[in-house]
């Protein structure tokens, strides 16, 4: 039953709970943004209809929220909430639009480190060798993006800025103007043939499991570099290990792994031409992620469609 207080209907004053190790920082950002009507609870109560937090934590409280209407994930990846055993009777939105810039910096940074021989030059300096080896360039190279959502579109734009040709592999969408040619479904091997760089930005879904397998790695030129900034599950790690050890490809840069943190005994730690970055490519910075919530909250209060809704069927 709705109770009218000072001209407002209590039912439309939504109760929010923030579920994150950085709750205090988020609360302080939201409080200073004077969001209309919002009640930020300091404990999880049955009244909460909005949860803003980390999917791995939200998963454990889903059945304590009879009034749940909307979950805003602080991450791009929402796998913990997709488990078939979990309820899906709410709107799930993820964090998008904030990682593209960081991911572009990461991808361009490691491509340049590779072409510019940044590690080799550091070794030459150590050995006091005036190393005039010619550097490579991004200009004229061809990059293939496995997955072209909002992050992929930003990476595509950065690749175009540096004069690359950009191929995109997607389920069906062809929405980025910065992708020169799109590939879908059965065209995976055509997509990778002749690439200088293969970059996976794929989420973890049933369809993306081990999509980067021996077949894909064998189809790449031997000078190709592989970068994974999506999810570790998209890669057949044994096949990648073999491709690197047998020099079927030139190198790999991995931000994500099947198991994280990577077990100490995993051979990746010592695989030649493999650089790893410990899932740091695009950190969720509270000020960025809070802005996603704030924008969506305004839509929520106006009864408009929320941005970045996750389709529970597709998983992204």
**What distances in angstroms separate CA 170 from CA 161, 184, 205, 209, one per listed residue?**
22, 5, 13, 14
DSSP codes joined into one string, 226-252: EEE-S-GGGB-HHHHHHHHHTTSSSEE
**Applying CB under 8 A, does 131 fall inside the site for a second copy?**
yes
Note whether 262 binds a second copy by CB under 8 A.
yes
Q: Which is nearer to a second copy, 44 or 275 (CB)?
A: 275
Closest approach of Cβ 59 to a second copy, in Å? 21
Residues 242-261 within binding reach of a second copy (CB under 8 A): 260-261
Q: Which residues contact 257 (CB under 8 A, 6 or more apart)?
A: 232, 237, 266, 268, 276, 279
Site string for a second copy, 149-168 (x = CB under 8 A): ---------x--xxx-----
121 touches a second copy by CB under 8 A: yes
Single out the residue of 138, 156, 234, 256 in contact with a second copy (rule: CB under 8 A): 138
Q: Is 75 in the site for a second copy (CB under 8 A)?
A: no
Single out the segment in contact with a second copy by CB under 8 A; choices: 32-40, 126-134, 169-177, 189-197: 126-134
Letter string b/e over residues 170-186, b meaning 16 or more CB atoms within 10 A of that residue's CB: beeeeebebbbebbeee
CB burial of residue 252 (10 Å; 0-12, 13-18, 19+) = buried
Q: Rounded to the nearest 10 degrees, what angle do helices 286-301 and 23-31 cross at?
A: 50
Identified binder of a second copy from the candidate list 28, 45, 135, 175, rule CB under 8 A: 135
Positions marked catalytic: 231, 279
Q: Which residues bind a second copy (CB under 8 A)?
A: 101-102, 105-106, 108-110, 112-113, 115-116, 118-119, 121-122, 124-125, 128, 130-135, 137-139, 158, 161-163, 260-262, 264, 269, 275-281, 283
């Amino acid at each position: 039953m709705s109770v009218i207080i000072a001209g407002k209907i209590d039912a439309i004053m939504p109760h929010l709970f923030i579920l994150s190790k950085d709750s205090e920082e988020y609360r302080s950002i939201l409080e200073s943004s004077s969001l209309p009507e919002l009640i930020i609870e300091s404990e999880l109560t049955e009244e909460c209809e909005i949860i803003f937090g980390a999917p791995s934590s939200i998963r454990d409280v889903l059945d304590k929220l009879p009034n749940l209407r909307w979950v805003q994930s602080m991450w791009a990846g929402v796998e913990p909430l997709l488990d078939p055993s979990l309820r899906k009777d709410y709107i799930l939105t993820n964090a998008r639009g904030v990682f593209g810039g960081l991911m572009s910096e990461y991808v361009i940074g490691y491509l340049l480190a590779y072409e510019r021989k940044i590690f080799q030059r550091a070794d030459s300096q150590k050995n006091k060798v005036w190393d005039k080896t010619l550097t490579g360039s991004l200009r004229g190279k061809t990059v293939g993006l496995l997955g072209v959502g909002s992050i992929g579109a930003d990476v595509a734009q950065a690749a175009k800025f540096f004069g690359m040709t950009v191929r995109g592999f997607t389920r069906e969408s062809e929405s980025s103007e910065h992708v020169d040619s799109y590939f879908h479904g059965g065209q995976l091997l055509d997509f990778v043939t002749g690439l200088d760089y293969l970059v996976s930005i794929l989420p973890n879904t049933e369809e993306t499991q081990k999509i980067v397998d021996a077949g894909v790695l064998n189809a790449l030129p031997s000078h190709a570099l592989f970068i994974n900034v999506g999810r570790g599950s998209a890669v057949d790690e044994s096949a990648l290990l073999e491709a690197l050890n047998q020099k079927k490809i030139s190198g790999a840069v991995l931000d994500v792994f099947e198991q994280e943190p990577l077990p100490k005994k995993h051979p990746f730690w010592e695989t030649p031409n493999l650089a790893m970055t410990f899932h740091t490519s695009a950190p969720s910075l509270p000020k960025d992620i809070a802005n996603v919530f704030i924008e969506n909250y305004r839509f929520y209060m106006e009864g408009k469609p929320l941005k970045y809704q996750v389709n529970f069927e597709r998983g992204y």
